[in-house]
Amino acid sequence: MSTDNFEITPIGFISTPFKQKFGIPRQSGIAGSAIGKIQIAKPFNDINAFRGLEKFSHIWLTFCFHLHRDKAWSPLIRPPRLGGNEKIGVFASRSTFRPNNLGQSVVSLKKIERVKNDIWLTVGGIDLLDQTPIVDIKPYIPYADSIPYAEAGYASKPPKVCDKTEFSELAQKQLISISKKYPDIATLIHQLLSQDPRPAYKDKEDDREYTMSLYDFDVRWQWNLKFNFVVSITDAVKR
Amino acid sequence: MSTDNFEITPIGFISTPFKQKFGIPRQSGIAGSAIGKIQIAKPFNDINAFRGLEKFSHIWLTFCFHLHRDKAWSPLIRPPRLGGNEKIGVFASRSTFRPNNLGQSVVSLKKIERVKNDIWLTVGGIDLLDQTPIVDIKPYIPYADSIPYAEAGYASKPPKVCDKTEFSELAQKQLISISKKYPDIATLIHQLLSQDPRPAYKDKEDDREYTMSLYDFDVRWQWNLKFNFVVSITDAVKR
């Protein structure tokens, strides 16, 4: 171990609708209705440390890909955007299988709350697994961070959007009761499906039924060439 | 110590012109002529890990504020942009005095070279101290990272620019020989001075002579209300 190594302590943990990797947006900002709540951990739960942050519409989260923490990194990975066939370097990607397991996402800042000794930040447009450890929060500074004209190789455009989602009669009924607790769930499902979360190596004509977990629910859907068809939204099977 | 803690290993170190904090641009991208070279450390010096990165014009560096590694963080800091008087929260800033000591900068990617077993990345527009440990490299993805319309509180505009630099006769002579080794040094000095690196609490009418170190040189200059006047560029006094 090098003496240049150093230790990281999470400053908090984020609660998100995403209980498993499948279905998570491939970058932040894609699903605006994907809301997360960060609970700040001791000793970082000092409201002074957040003074002025409310003036920023967007913030950077630095986080740890915690499910990969004990797994080896690999020099080459297969990004889903390249059809799952072509290999590129791990540092040319934002793959989770990377040295140091650090990720970064820009998210919208909705709310900062103090509840007794706890501090909660509500953020939108997230792409993080539930209970991801947050290791830093920084303001987004457009004059430094925003480079609209940057060239971005294979990731120059957002994932292809299918902008139509239909819900079965069953799914519509289920939505009525679920919406009481999660008012934006229909919009969220639409946003997640529109980025086409199916595995990269699927067939074009693919009538398979996929299941994605969201909050405590299993969302089942099919792709039928013209739109995404949500079959059902049922209580999650215990995993 | 929490079991959620984890250890970070630098993937490389960057050589930069900035031998001390004073004068370093306050964000990346401000001084395009500020060039750095990252030497990738073992075992990350596998050229495969960088395959495809050359297609990106800009990359994110995640790094460690190594000079602050053993120093305490503070909930409140005084950002130079607010005149050094007003305090804001450390998470509402990009201050170096922060928990976990992690920084992030977007820089332009100039070159990736393999020399025997070494890998070198040349990057521009840097704001990093010489020998900063780099802990991650990721491609810049405009559709996810670029939010030109984001609101940014006190940091909504770049630092005020003074777009005129004059060199004394002595400094001009010195530039001739220095330029043989560092062809862009005059441009770099101009870019660094134009962001006004003087301490935030200086007087408006300030005829003090300041010294900034750059490569192996001490650059002495004065602010004379209308432009920056470079007095001399001499071999650095040993510090």
Please compute the mean of the pLDDT values over residues A62-70 and round it to a whole number: 91
C-alpha span between A51 and B107 (Å, rounded)? 28
Q: Can you tell me the distance from the alpha carbon of B201 to that of B120, in angstroms, rounded to the nearest whole number?
A: 39
> How much of chain B exceeds pLDDT 90, in percent?
74
Residue whose token pair is 């810049």: B140
Report pLDDT digits (tens) over A113-159: 999 999 999 999 999 999 999 999 999 999 999 999 999 988 878 87
What value does the mean pLDDT take over residues A156-170? 87
Q: How far is B239 from chain A (nearest CA, A)?
A: 23
User: Are B55 and A151 within 8 A, CB to CB?
Assistant: yes
Is 60 exceeded by the pLDDT of residue A239? no
Chain A's closest residue to B5, CA to CA, is: A9
pLDDT of A56 reads 97
Per-window interface: A 29-88 vs B, CB < 8 A = 29-30, 44, 46, 48-53, 55-58, 60, 62, 64, 66, 69, 75-76, 87-88
pLDDT value for A1:
45
Which residues of chain A neighbour B142 with C-beta distances below 8 Å? 147-150, 152, 156
Of A200 and B48, the structure prediction assigns the larger pLDDT to B48
Higher-scoring residue by pLDDT: B205, A198:
A198
CB contact under 8 A, B52 and A144: no
CA distance linking residue A234 with residue A177, whole number of Å: 11
Q: Which residues does residue A166 pair with via DSSP β-bridges, in sequence order?
A: A229
Task: Chunk chain B into consecutive blocks of 10 residues (it has 239) and report each block's average pLDDT, rounded to whole numbers.
Answer: 85 96 88 96 97 97 92 89 84 94 97 96 97 98 94 82 92 95 95 87 76 95 90 85
- Cα distance between residue A144 and residue A137, in whole Å: 16
In angstroms, rounded to a whole number, what is the distance separating the alpha carbons of residues B239 and A153? Answer: 44
Q: Are B27 and A144 contacting, i.e. CB atoms less than 8 angstroms apart?
A: yes
pLDDT of residue A110: 98
| Inter-chain CB proximity B145 and A143 less than 8 Å | no
Q: Rounded mean pLDDT of A198-220? A: 85
Instruction: Answer for the pair B104, B48: CB distance below 8 angstroms, yes or no.
Output: no
Residue B221, helix vs strand vs coil: strand
Q: How far does the CA of residue A72 sit from the closest CA of chain B (Å)?
A: 12
The whole-angstrom separation of Cα A84 and Cα A95 is 13
How do beta strands B12-15 and B132-139 pair?
A: antiparallel
**Location of structure tokens 């100039």:** B110
- Bridge partners (DSSP) of residue B232 are B220
Of the options 2.40.30.70, 1.20.1090.10, 2.60.40.10, 1.10.4000.10, the CATH number for the domain spanning B12-154: 2.40.30.70
| Closest Cα in chain B, distance from residue A96 (Å) | 11
Residue B1's pLDDT is what?
A: 45
Segment B36-59, tens digit of pLDDT: 999 999 999 999 999 999 999 999
Distance (Å, rounded) from C-alpha A81 to C-alpha A184? 28
Residue B64 and residue B135 in contact, taking contact as beta carbons nearer than 8 Å: yes
Query: What pLDDT score was predicted for residue A79?
Result: 83
Which DSSP helix (H) or strand (E) runs through A171?
Answer: helix A169-181
3-state secondary structure of B65: coil
Of A55, A188, A189, the C-alpha closest to A124 is A188
Q: Where are the domains of chain B?
A: 12-154, 165-235
pLDDT, tens only, B66-81: 998 888 899 999 887 7
Strands (E), chain B: 6-8, 12-15, 35-40, 58-64, 76-77, 88-89, 102-115, 118-124, 132-139, 165-167, 209-214, 217-223, 228-235
Within 10 angstroms of residue A76's Cβ, the number of other Cβ atoms is: 18
> CB-hemisphere CA count at 13 Å for B117?
4
- A61-80: average pLDDT: 90
A58 beta partners: A108
Alpha carbon distance, N-terminus to C-terminus of chain B: 37
| Mean predicted confidence (pLDDT) in A98-112 | 97
Shortest CA gap A171–chain B (Å): 31
| Start-end of H helices in B106-212 | 142-145, 169-181, 185-194
Is B64 within 8 Å of B103 (Cβ atoms)? yes
Tokens of B34: 């500020």
Check residues A55 and B153 and name the one with the higher pLDDT. Answer: A55
